[in-house]
Amino acid sequence: MAYSALMRVMVEAARKAGRSLSRDFGEVQNLQVSMKGPGDYVSQADRKAEEIIFTELSRARPGYSFLMEERGVVEGDDAQHRWIVDPLDGTTNFLHGIPIFAVSIALERQGQLQAALVYNPAMDELYTAERGGGAFMNDRRLRVAGRTKLTDSVIGTGIPHLGRGHHGNALIELRNVMGEVSGIRRMGAAALDLAYVAAGRLDGFWESGLSPWDMAAGLLLVREAGGFASDREGGQEMFDTGTVVAGNETIHRVLLRQLRKPLSPRPA
């Protein structure tokens, strides 16, 4: 499909990083892996992909600021624009040979998301969106699913693990949702979860403990596909709270209500 000049820059950076990730994915057992924290890995592949993206975007748009998973904040001369980048969302999947991982790139202008890209090189699925221009997967226009009942819906989530998140709250939320839906899915890559909501593969998604680079691109994809995304309280403080709830208008509203419910007593 024909991309804007801005999106061409993003696509070229993502595809170049994706080729590097694909090569390393084919030799995943040989990667040098270090520990960032309990259950949280950073790999040589992750660093290489981030370096590629940083170099490509800096060359194409000099002066733009960055917020990146590995480098953190990189201040540029242009305070109006900021790239938000996760070079490898789904690192644990990647290191275990599971082909559910992605490059995620978003561009903010004056604090508003303007462009988004999520790319899974293992499946060659490229999700793109620009503000006001709709969302696409490769050449196909995306729309969120039209289901309006939780009982018919498949909902994605993230489940806390060693060193990540508050297990008690997550278990309460999971118990309140799982008994009301057709299925729960835990993919292990929030950027792709949100892209799947945009594509109608998942009817909704919620997760806590996320960073801006985990969700920035996915938020715009969902909105440009006709969906709704908010923090867990229904507001727009996702980056500050680290929480996100997404779906079509009805599922988003019902899912928010379900997540706020107190823990129901166990049946006798």
Task: Give the C-alpha distances (Å, rounded to integers) separating 199 from 61, 77, 150, 224.
Answer: 29, 36, 18, 11
Whether 78 has a binding-site annotation, put simply, is no
Q: Is the dihedral of CA 144, 187, 50, 73 positive or negative?
A: positive
C-alpha to C-alpha distance for 70 and 209, rounded to whole angstroms:
17
The conformation of residue 73, written as its DSSP 8-state character, comes to E
Whether 86 has a binding-site annotation, put simply, is yes
Whether 46 has a binding-site annotation, put simply, is no
Q: Do 242 and 210 contact (CB within 8 A), yes or no?
A: yes
Of 192, 162, 191, 157, the residue nearest 174 (C-alpha):
157
Q: Do 41 and 153 contact (CB within 8 A), yes or no?
A: no
Whether 220 has a binding-site annotation, put simply, is no
Which of 193-230 are b and which e, b meaning 16 or more Cβ less than 10 Å from the residue's Cβ?
Answer: bbbbbbbbbbbbbbbbbbebbbbbbbbbbbbbbbbbbb
Length of the chain: 268
How does DSSP assign 192-225, residue by residue? HHHHHHHTTSSSEEEESS--HHHHHHHHHHHHHT
Whether 69 has a binding-site annotation, put simply, is yes
For residue 6, the SS3 value is helix
Between β-strands 154-157 and 204-207, what pairing exists: parallel, antiparallel or unpaired?
parallel
Which residues are part of a known binding site? Answer: 69, 86, 88-89, 214
Which residues are part of a known binding site for Mg(2+)? Answer: 69, 86, 88-89, 214
